[in-house]
């Protein structure tokens, strides 16, 4: 069993680590808590990324991207997330955000939706969560009823990132209320300028972003805007979330925890109390050791899950474990780092308080640990026969 990263992935890791240390960490405290990076900062960074040959690293080769596997992307994301310079939810450092569901477009749809997104000409948000349907997407109420060559869409979505600046929205909706998640949920690409689409309000959060609530009132959506076959939407959405739990919640948490513990160690050596550096106190040493142990365990879990995904293996249960463990681990590590820093750890002079707020949201978004534990246990028990 080889625990070494492939040579090409290690080279990417070194390249991105150097970029983060030289370009992102020095400017991270200039960035705010907003949903998007200041163009004056993002533009020059993107040009440097292009020069390094890392542009469109999330995009498959057949669509003009690098086509990197999930393991390579996790390694890169771990490094990038050691800095707070990029927004937590709309990181366009390596190119426009492309919702993976768009890769399931047919050829005609790719010309209208996928390629314009990749070129940065349009933006498309993703809408699944509803006021009464978050952790249980199968109970969603947003309904699309077939009417000839159109669907009539009614319902609402809440906590939708970038809805206010997007041209279209991938709306996950019920097309067969009897089947629901077992073949009754579809994905429609809705023009945000369509009659009946209303941006109801924004929901300012403790994380600094303000996702939207959207209402759909008898919105006519062409059948030609449905991605995949009718009833395939639930599987498409869950496939996206599975990858997100490994990279967005797993690798990102590992990167944050790594940097937070490094900051804790550096400060502990500098800060002197009662005649000794904090680093000489056993209580502090135990906190640092525990953080290092948990971070390493999480890293191995992320890499293993990503590797299995790249091999085409079923990683549903692995993704649940990764999301649960990494999210809770990073919360503990950053909490310890703040404790070691004392009062200064609470200030906005350091990225610790920012990570503390963002990480708290990870334990809610895209699958709460309580629900994932329930699903994981159910799957494991069923597998016992």
Active-site residues, by number, are: 366
CB distance 299 to 326 below 8 Å: no
The contacts of residue 185 (CB under 8 Å, 6+ apart) are 137, 138, 140, 172, 173, 174, 175, 176, 231, 233, 234, 237
Total Cβ atoms within 10 A of residue 282: 7
Half-sphere exposure of 337 (CA within 13 A, CB side): 27
Kindly write down the DSSP assignment for every residue of 28-68, as one continuous string: GGGS-S-SS--HHHHHHHHHHHHHTT-TTTTS-GGGTS---
Q: Helix, strand or coil for residue 225?
A: helix
Cα gap 129→366, rounded to integer Å: 9
Task: Note whether 131 and 199 are within 8 A (CB).
Answer: no
221 beta partners:
151
Q: What is the DSSP string of 195-224?
A: TTEEEEEE---TTS---EEEEEEEEEEEGG
DSSP secondary-structure letter at 1? -
Owner of token pair 């404790």: 339
Residue 90's SS3 state is: coil
């Amino acid at each position: 069993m080889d625990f070494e990263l492939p040579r090409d992935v290690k080279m990417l890791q070194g390249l991105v680590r150097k970029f983060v240390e030289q370009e992102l960490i020095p400017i991270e405290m200039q960035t705010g808590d907003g949903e998007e990076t200041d163009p004056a900062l993002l533009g020059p960074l993107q040009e440097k990324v292009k020069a390094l040959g890392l542009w469109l690293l999330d995009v498959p080769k057949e669509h003009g991207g690098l086509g990197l596997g999930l393991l390579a992307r996790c390694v890169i994301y771990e490094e990038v997330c050691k800095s707070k310079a990029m927004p937590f939810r709309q990181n366009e450092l390596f190119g426009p955000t492309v919702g993976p569901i768009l890769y399931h477009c047919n050829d005609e749809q790719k010309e209208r939706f996928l390629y314009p997104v990749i070129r940065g000409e349009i933006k498309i948000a993703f809408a699944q969560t509803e006021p009464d349907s978050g952790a249980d997407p199968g109970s969603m109420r947003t309904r699309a009823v077939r009417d000839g060559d159109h669907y009539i869409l009614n319902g609402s979505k809440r906590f939708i990132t970038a809805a206010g600046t997007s041209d279209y929205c991938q709306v996950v909706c019920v097309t067969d209320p009897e089947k629901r998640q077992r073949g009754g949920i579809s994905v429609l690409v809705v023009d945000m300028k369509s009659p009946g689409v209303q941006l109801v309000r924004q929901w300012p959060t403790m994380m600094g972003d303000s996702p939207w609530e959207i209402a759909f009132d008898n919105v006519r959506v062409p059948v030609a805007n449905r991605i995949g076959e009718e009833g395939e939407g639930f599987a498409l959405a869950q496939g996206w979330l599975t990858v997100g739990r490994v990279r967005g919640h797993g690798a990102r948490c590992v990167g944050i925890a790594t940097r937070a513990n490094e900051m804790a160690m550096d400060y502990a050596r500098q800060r002197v109390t009662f005649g000794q550096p904090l680093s000489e106190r056993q209580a502090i040493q135990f906190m640092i050791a525990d953080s290092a142990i948990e971070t390493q365990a999480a890293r191995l879990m992320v890499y293993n899950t990503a590797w299995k995904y790249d091999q085409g293996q079923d990683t549903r249960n692995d993704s649940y474990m990764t999301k649960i463990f990494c999210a809770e681990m990073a919360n503990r590590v950053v909490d310890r780092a703040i404790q070691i820093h004392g009062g200064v750890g609470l200030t906005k002079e350091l990225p610790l308080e920012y990570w503390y707020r963002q990480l708290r949201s990870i334990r809610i978004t895209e699958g709460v640990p309580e629900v994932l534990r329930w699903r994981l246990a159910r799957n494991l028990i069923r597998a016992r026969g």
